[in-house]
Amino acid sequence: MKTDTCTHVPVVTGGIEVISCGNCGEVGWFRKGQWLDPAEGMAVLFGQYDLVGRLEALSAPAPEVLLYRPPSGRWRAHLDAFPKRVWLEAAPDLYLSHDGEHLLLAPTDLLYFDNLTRGA
């Protein structure tokens, strides 16, 4: 996919294709070339990650950030589909970033935040 400023090439990871661009903020989720609901894409790639804790946000789109750790090195590779240290709206009201080791999620909707922290 090409926009006026960027060329977006899907990255295949975890059995799905992800388009993510740190320049324009584009995030797209696909399976076998067909659009995939962002919630399903997030669940496929990061559903096995462990919530480590909540952090006060610095330069994030929400006041608090959730820090997640992958269960193993194999799962860490899913982060490579996204640029490091850039906040992207991965799903409506849910922003994603990472440092190469940990996943950071910044939900801007309180219901999202409650759902992601329930039972933790």
Comparison of pLDDT for 8 and 73, the residue scoring more: 8
Band of residue 119 on the pLDDT scale cut at 50, 70, 90: low
Distance CA 79, CA 19 (A): 12
Task: Work out the pLDDT band at 74, boundaries 50, 70, 90.
Answer: confident
What's the rounded Cα separation, in Å, for the pair 19 and 73? 22
Give the span between the Cα atoms of 43 and 46, in whole angstroms: 5
Q: Where are the domains of the chain?
A: 11-117
2 confidence band (pLDDT: 50, 70, 90): very low
The answer on pLDDT for 120 being more than 60 is no
Q: Name the burial class of residue 35, with classes exposed (0-12), middle (13-18) and buried (19+) by CB atoms within 10 angstroms of its CB.
A: exposed
Q: 7 - beta bridge partners?
A: 2
* Other CB atoms within 10 A of residue 84 CB: 12
pLDDT bracket for residue 89 (50, 70, 90): very high
The residue among 61, 46, 2, 45 whose CA lies nearest residue 26 is: 2
